[in-house]
């Protein structure tokens, strides 16, 4: 049973489980890639909550588009029409948030909360009205709330994949402009960049990804594909190009693996599975990323404390004060002591530690506001942090005092 499941999973992952399954998995992966790419700039621009309001604001547009289609005699649940309605409603919601933030005393988060709840409430009411009408095809509208990946037709999956790829391409073409907008909009405005227009472009891309993700993960969870991948990637790097690529990869893997799991576990909602996979990547990044991961940070702190304690113990031994307990064992294992006394290597290390400590104290006394942000004083050798002429000046002052 397990071997059969693993074999089926490998077939799905390698796009060998039928054309329809392969297209759905590829389209979902493309959506994750686009979400991670666009979401990187939303995260840096601090627009995460705006994307949440945007996703919820699409629901009334979907309902109105369905009613318009039914009135015009168009095909039931026409995806292009429903997505067009979602775009229109999402844009109205976005403009409403901006208007409330700019022309009233409401803060942006208050405006987002108001728009999110009102638009979503209106959408739920319209869906209830539609359910009571004698129209065909209305039962499937609720799938836009939580998504229904497996129900996608091949043409829909291909369209979603192409649209997602287009969104990622737009970010690549506008990378320089979006980078300036994300990090220093004030500087961009002074330099003559159209900050307002760039902000609208960014939110338009977010609207684009939100709308094309409705069929896959639903309007409630689509914001996760915009925020979780870049948030997870942020633990790994500080460089924007690497951050954007990492977020795109995490988003694509989330869609790829999540769609595969949903195919293996058809009773579970696909959108929720995809988001849980993205959450798994976030948890792994939070714990084990070498740049900012919790475990890596704890190891760095542990090494700093041990190094500080070791250097202090060496100076104590150099001054004739005994060292006992675990530190004594550690110094012996490091080859600094033998039979409780400093070895030649230990004496050299102790003299270097005493010199660094003396010069660091002189530096802190003379230049308390100039301590480098990256330095761990008392641990880092002073010659590796400060320029040589500054170290020589400190040595002269220390010798004369």
pLDDT band at 205 (very low <50, low <70, confident <90, very high): confident
Q: Whole-angstrom Cα distance, residue 218 to residue 146?
A: 4
Residue 337 phi/psi, 5° resolution?
Answer: -135, 155
With CA atoms as reference, report the closest residue to 34 among 352, 255, 327, 217.
255
Instruction: Identify the top-confidence range among 187-191, 370-374, 385-389.
Output: 385-389
**DSSP per residue, 104-150:** SS--HHHHHHHHHHHHHHHHHHHHHHHHTS--TTGGGGGHHHH--GG
- Residue predicted with more confidence, 250 or 64: 250
pLDDT of residue 172: 84
Q: Which residues of 313-347 are buried (b: 16+ CB within 10 A; e: fewer)?
A: bbbbbbeeeebeeebeebbeeeebbeeeebbeebe
Confidence of residue 4 (pLDDT cuts 50, 70, 90): low
Q: In the predicted model, is pLDDT for residue 286 greater than 90?
A: yes
Q: Supply the pTM of this predicted model.
A: 0.77
Q: How high is the pLDDT of residue 30? A: 82
| Eight-state DSSP code of residue 336 | S
Predicted local confidence at residue 292, as pLDDT:
83
Let me know: does 256 contact 32? Beta carbons within 8 Å: yes
Residue 54 to residue 136: CA distance in whole angstroms: 28
Instruction: Say how far apart CA 160 and CA 259 lie, in whole Å.
Output: 14
The neighbouring-strand residues paired with 274 are none
Considering the chain, what is the average pLDDT of its residues?
A: 79
For 312-341, the pLDDT digits (tens) are 888 888 888 888 888 888 888 888 888 878
Domain annotation for the chain: domains and CATH numbers: 2-227 (1.10.3470.10), 295-400 (no CATH)
Summarize pLDDT for 86-139 with one digit per residue, the tens.
Answer: 888 888 888 888 788 888 887 777 888 888 888 888 888 888 887 777 665 555
DSSP-derived letter for residue 341 is: E
Tell whether the model's pLDDT for residue 281 goes beyond 90. Answer: yes
């Amino acid at each position: 049973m397990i071997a059969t499941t693993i074999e089926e999973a490998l077939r799905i992952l390698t796009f060998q489980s039928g054309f329809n399954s392969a297209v759905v998995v590829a389209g979902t992966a493309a959506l994750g890639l686009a979400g991670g790419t666009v979401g990187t700039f939303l995260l840096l621009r601090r627009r995460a909550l705006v994307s949440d309001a945007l996703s919820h604001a699409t629901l009334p547009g979907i309902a109105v588009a369905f009613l318009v289609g039914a009135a015009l005699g168009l095909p039931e649940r026409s995806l292009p029409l429903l997505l067009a309605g979602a775009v229109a409603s999402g844009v109205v919601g976005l403009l409403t948030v901006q208007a409330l933030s700019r022309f009233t005393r409401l803060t942006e988060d208050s405006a987002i909360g108001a728009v999110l709840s009102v638009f979503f409430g209106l959408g739920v009411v319209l869906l209830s009205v539609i359910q009571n009408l004698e129209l065909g095809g209305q039962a499937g509208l609720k799938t836009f709330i939580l998504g229904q990946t497996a129900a996608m037709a091949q043409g829909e999956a291909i369209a979603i994949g192409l649209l997602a790829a287009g969104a990622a391409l737009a970010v690549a073409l506008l990378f320089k402009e979006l980078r300036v907008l994300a990090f220093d909009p004030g500087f961009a405005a002074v330099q003559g960049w159209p900050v307002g227009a760039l902000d609208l472009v960014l939110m338009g891309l977010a609207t684009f990804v939100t709308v094309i993700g409705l069929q896959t993960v639903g309007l409630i969870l689509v914001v996760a594909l915009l925020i979780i991948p870049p948030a997870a990637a942020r633990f790994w790097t500080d460089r924007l190009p690497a951050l954007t690529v990492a977020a795109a990869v995490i988003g694509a893997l989330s869609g790829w693996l999540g769609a595969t799991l949903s195919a293996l576990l058809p009773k579970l909602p696909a959108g929720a599975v995809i988001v849980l996979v993205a959450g798994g990547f976030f948890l792994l990044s939070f714990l084990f990323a070498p740049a900012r991961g919790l475990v890596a940070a704890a190891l760095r702190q542990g090494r700093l404390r041990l190094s500080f304690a070791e250097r202090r113990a060496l100076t104590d031994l150099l001054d004739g004060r005994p060292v006992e307990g675990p530190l004594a064992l550690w110094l012996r294992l490091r080859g600094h002591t033998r039979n409780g006394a400093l070895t030649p290597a230990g004496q050299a290390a102790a003299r270097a530690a005493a010199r660094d400590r003396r010069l660091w104290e002189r530096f802190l006394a003379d230049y308390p506001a100039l301590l480098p942000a990256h330095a761990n004083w008392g641990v880092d050798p002073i010659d590796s942090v400060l320029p040589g002429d500054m170290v020589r000046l400190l040595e002269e002052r220390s010798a004369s005092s």
